[in-house]
Chain A
Amino acid sequence: MNVDAANAADGQRDPIVEHIVGNSADVPEGAHIVVEVNGREIGLFNVRGHYYALLNHCFHQNGPVCRGAVSGTLDANAETGWQKVWTREGEIVICPWHALEFSILTGECLAFPDKRVPRFPVKVEDGFIKLTV
C-alpha cells in the first residue's frame, strides 16, 4: 500500500487535530517511543530519518504492538530461489505479546495481510514531532 495513502485513510475517522508529542531528539533514527494522545496510545517510529505513527493496539489479542522490538524480517519467494533472505531491516515492529510482525511503513501485518495497525500522519517541524489524530 502507498504510504501516503495509508496515512490519509487512517487519519480521517476523527476531527483532525495536530498534537506536539515530543522533540525529534526523543526519537533518534532507529528508535521508537509510545505516547498518549487523547487517551490513545500511539507509537512513534524513526525509520532512516522518516517518522511513522501507529496505534499501539494489536488486532490479535489487544497487545501493545508498538512496545515491541524493531527488526528486519525473513522472506523467501521465487526471486530468491525459495531461499531465506533477511530483508526490510528496521521496518518491522514485532508485537511483544505474540510476535506478530507489522510493517512500520504501512501498518500491514505480515502474517495476515488483510489486517493492519491504523496509522496516523506525523511530521517534524522546528524540531517538534507533530502528530495528527
Chain B
Amino acid sequence: MTQTKTDNTLTGRAPKKILDNMLVLDADVHAHETPGSLAPYCAMPHRKSLEILERTPRRYLDVPGFAPITPPYPPIPDAGGERRNTVTSAAQMRQDLDDLGVDVGVIFPDHFLLHPAIRPTDYAVALAHAYNHWLVEEWLSNSEDDGLRGVVLAPHHDPTAAAAEIRRYASHKRVAGVFLPTSCVEPLWGNRRYDPVYEAAQETNLPVLFHSVTAFHTAFPFNLYCFDTAFGAHTVAHPFALVANLVSLLESGVPARFPNLKIAFTEGGIAWVPWIMLRLDKEYAERRREVPWLKERPSHYIKRMFFATQPIEEPEHMKDMATYLTLFDGENNVMFASDWPHHDFDHPNKVLQIPVSDPIRRKLMGENALRLFGERARGPKRKGAQQSRTGAGMDTRPGTGNGSVDGTQAGAT
C-alpha cells in the first residue's frame, strides 16, 4: 500500500532568511517509485515480477525483491512524524519545493537507494533501466522548465550496462548527474571493475553522487545487523557507507586517474569529512607506496569533492558548524540538501542558521551545487519566491491516529 496522507505540513513555512536573488538548489530530494509505476517501463520478463510486487502489500521503503532493508528490530509506536513522506508526481514535488523555498531540486529514488541489495544482475539492470526511463519521462519532461532535475541510477552489478545508462541520458538537459548507491555495494566503488562508469561520467561531464541508506547486510560497509535500534543503525549507516566508498575511491586512485570527474556525497551530514580526511592524510604519510597513483595527500583530493548538508549536524551552538566548514574548505564544496520528504529531511531554515557571511551562504545554498552540476542545473526562480507566509484561517482538521499509515516506523532509511 502507498501512503495516502495528502496533508502538506510545509505550507506557509518557507524560510524567511533567503537573500535577494539567492539560488536555492537542493541537491537531494526523493521521488517515490513503486513496482507498479515502473512496470510499464520494464522489459519482460522482469515486468511480471513488478506486477506481482505491485499486488503485494508492502511496508514503507522496505520491499522484499525491490528494496530489501530488512530491519532486525521491531517497529516503535509512533516513531515517525505524522505527515506525508512520499512524493508521487512532479507536480507534487514542485509544490513541495515551492513550500520549502527551493528553486531547483535534484531527484533521487526512494526504494532504489537499496538497489545494490538486489541480487540478480539481469533483474537489477532491468530495474535501473526502467527507473531511469520513468524518471526522465514522468519527472523531467514538463513542457516548461519546472526546476526539477534528476540523477540516473548506475547499476553497480554491471558496470558496462551502467556506463551505457550514463551515455544514454547524458544529453538530456535535466539529467544532472549519476547516482551511485553506496550501501550493500560489493566490491566498493573504488574497485577498478567500475572504471567504465567513471570513464562514462567523465566523458559526459556528469558528476557522480554517492548516496547512502540504512541497509542490513552481513558484510561491509558496516555490521548494521549488530544494532538493536534504528538509533544505532541509522547513526552509523550513512556516514560509514560514505566513508567506506570514499576511502575505496582514494585507495584505487579514482580522483587521480579521472582528474575531471566530479564527485559528491549525500546524506551523511558533513562532520565526518574532516575526520576521515585527516585520518587518510596520516595513513598516507606512512603508506604512500601502496597508493602511488595519489600524487597529493588525500585531503587535497577530498577538498575538491562535494558534500551535501543533509542531515546537517545540529550542535548546541550552530556556530560550531561554521567552524567545521573551515576544516575542509567547506565554503567551496558544501551544498544544501533537504532529503525531502524523508523522515530526517532538513528544512532550509536549519542550514541558514549556520552563522556565515552572506556570500558564503549563497555558496552553500546553491552556488557550490551549480559548480558541481553545471549550468544545466540552473532553473527558473520558484513561484512565490518573495511571498511571505499567509494566514490559513481556522484549520479544523483533527489530528488522527498513529505514525505511518502502515504502522511501520518512518525512520527506516
Nearest CB in chain B to that of A67: its residue:
B9
Min CB–CB distance B235 → chain A (angstroms): 15
Report yes or no: B77 in contact with A62, Cβ–Cβ below 8 A: no
- Map CB proximity to A onto B49-79 as digits: 1 under 8 Å, 0 otherwise: 0000000000000000000000000001111
Point out the residue from B7, B83, B314, B394 that lies within 8 Å of A97, measured CB to CB: B83
The 8 Å CB contact of A63, one of B13, B80, B402, is B13
Any A CB within 8 A of the CB of B317: no
A69 touches B401 (CB 8 A): yes
- Find chain A residues with CB under 8 A from B77 CB: 71-72, 74, 86
Which of B156-164, B246-254, B342-350, B368-376 lies at the interface with chain A? B342-350
Which residue from chain B places its CB closest to the CB of A84 in the assembled complex? Answer: B76
Chain A 62-77 interface 0/1 with B at a Cβ cutoff of 8 Å (1 = within): 1110111111111000
The answer on a CB contact under 8 Å between A74 and B76 is yes
- Knowing A36-B391, A63-B13, A71-B77 are in contact, say whether A98-B343 is a contact too (CB < 8 A): yes
Instruction: Give chain A's interface residue range (CB within 8 Å of chain B).
Output: 20 to 34
B interface: dominant SS:
loop
With A63-B13, A71-B77, A96-B81 given, is the CB distance from A33 to B395 under 8 Å?
Answer: yes
Give CA–CA (A22, B399) in the complex, Å.
16
Query: B78: which of A21, A27, A67, A71 is its contact (CB, 8 Å)?
Result: A71
Which residues of A in the span 75-133 have a Cβ within 8 Å of any Cβ on B? 86, 93-99
Query: In the bound complex, how far is the Cα of B345 from the Cα of A97, in angstroms?
Result: 8
Q: How far is the CB of B263 from chain A (nearest CB, A)?
A: 29
B395 touches A34 (CB 8 A): yes
Q: CB of B410 within 8 A of chain A?
A: yes
Contact with A along B265-277 (1 / 0, CB 8 A): 0000000000000
When A62-B349, A63-B13, A97-B9 are in contact, do A69 and B82 touch as well, CB less than 8 Å? yes
Chain B contacts of A94 at CB under 8 A?
Answer: 78, 81-82, 403
In contact, A63 and B401 (Cβ under 8 angstroms):
no
- Provide the residues of chain A in CB contact with B346, threshold 8 Å: 61
A3 CB, min distance to chain B CBs, angstroms: 20
Q: Is B387 interfacial (CB 8 A cutoff)? A: no
Asked if B410 and A99 make an inter-chain contact with CB atoms under 8 angstroms apart, the answer reads yes
Question: Are A70 and B349 neighbours in the complex by a CB distance under 8 Å?
Answer: no
Say yes or no: is B45 at the interface (Cβ < 8 Å to chain A).
no
Sorting the interface of chain B by its residue count into under 10, 10 to 19, 20 to 34 or 35 or more gives: 20 to 34
A74 to chain B, nearest CB (A): 7
The answer to whether A31 and B398 have CB atoms under 8 Å apart is yes
Residues of B within 8 A of A26 (CB): 396
Complex CA–CA separation, A68 to B346 (angstroms): 17
Interface residues in A25-50 (C-beta closer than 8 Å to B): 26-27, 31-36, 39, 41
Q: Hey, which chain B residues are within 8 Å of A64, CB to CB?
A: 9, 13
| Residue in chain A with minimal CB distance to B389 | A39
Contact status A36-B392, CB under 8 Å: yes
Across the interface, B82 reaches (CB within 8 A) one of A27, A33, A39, A68, namely A68
Report whether A99 and B81 are in contact in the complex, using a CB–CB cutoff of 8 Å. yes
A74 to B76 Cα, complex, angstroms: 9
Contact partner, B399, options A35, A67, A97, A98, Cβ 8 Å: A67
A84 to chain B, nearest CB (A): 10
Task: Tell me the minimal C-beta distance from A20 to chain B in angstroms.
Answer: 11
Give the residues in chain A near B79, CB-CB below 8 Å.
99
- If the complex has contacts A36-B393, A68-B399, A71-B77, are A61 and B349 also in contact, measured as CB distance less than 8 A? yes
Cβ-based interface call for B143 (8 A):
no
Residues 256-291 of chain B: 1 if any A CB is under 8 Å from the residue's CB, otherwise 0? 000000000000000000000000000000000000
What are 8 pairs between A and B in contact, CB < 8 Å?
A31-B398, A34-B395, A62-B347, A64-B9, A66-B399, A68-B82, A71-B78, A99-B411
Additional A-B contact list (7), CB under 8 Å, known A41-B392, A99-B81: A32-B398, A36-B391, A36-B394, A61-B346, A64-B13, A72-B77, A99-B343
Which residues does A use to contact B, with CB under 8 Å? 21-22, 26-27, 31-36, 39, 41, 60-64, 66-74, 86, 93-99
Report, nearest first, the 7 A-B pairs whose CB atoms are least far apart.
A96-B83, A69-B82, A71-B78, A96-B81, A99-B81, A61-B347, A32-B399
